[in-house]
Amino acid sequence: MATTTKRAKVGPRASVVIGTVKKTIGGKSKTVKLVSYMAKSTADFFGFKTEAVKSTATKSAGGKTVAPRLIRGSIGAGSIKVPAGKTSAAKGGVQKFKQIPIPSGATNVQIEAFLKTATKNKPTSFVSRDGRTYAVSGTK
């Protein structure tokens, strides 16, 4: 008899708008939202404004209406790590981090602007996808 492993429950998710990007699609300029689909507990911890995900039904090649699907990520996307709480490195403590998924089109400048919108537990820095630590300017 095969054994099954239980996955850890990650809890409810929330969609948070990180920023907007102008893209040219079919010769027309369009503004596209960069949305992060993160754990609701993380969004609540930092006080990010959540947004309802709007999805529309699509049509298949045969012309039939297909139920809408939510896109929960994008190719090349990754996560950044943001310090959660105060560090007590002097006392031998370990810094805890919260991971925030970031869409592939987001730049470090957009990530910094997004982190400044936190209303609670304002982060002072973040660790990017490549492992470098960047300061969030203008926060204390």
What pLDDT sits at residue 127? 92
User: For residue 84, which of 132, 118, 54, 113 has the smallest C-alpha distance?
Assistant: 118
C-alpha 109/C-alpha 93 separation (Å) is: 30
How far is it, in rounded angstroms, from Cα 19 to Cα 97?
Answer: 22
Task: Name the nearest CA neighbour of 80 among 1, 9, 12, 16.
Answer: 16
> Which residues have a Cβ under 8 Å from the Cβ of 31 and sit 6 or more positions away?
20, 21, 22, 23
Does pLDDT of 67 surpass 70? Answer: no
84-133 pLDDT tens trace: 877 665 566 788 889 998 887 788 888 899 999 999 988 989 998 888 99
What is the C-alpha to C-alpha distance for residues 140 and 124, in angstroms, rounded to an integer? Answer: 7
- Taking only the tens place, the pLDDT of each residue in 5-55 is 666 676 788 888 888 777 777 787 877 778 888 888 889 999 998 887 666
Run of H or E residues at 16 = strand 13-25
Token representation of residue 110: 């957009």
Alpha carbon distances (Å) from 101 to 2, 6, 41, 47: 33, 23, 13, 16
Q: What are the residue ranges spanned by the domains of the chain?
A: 13-55+72-135
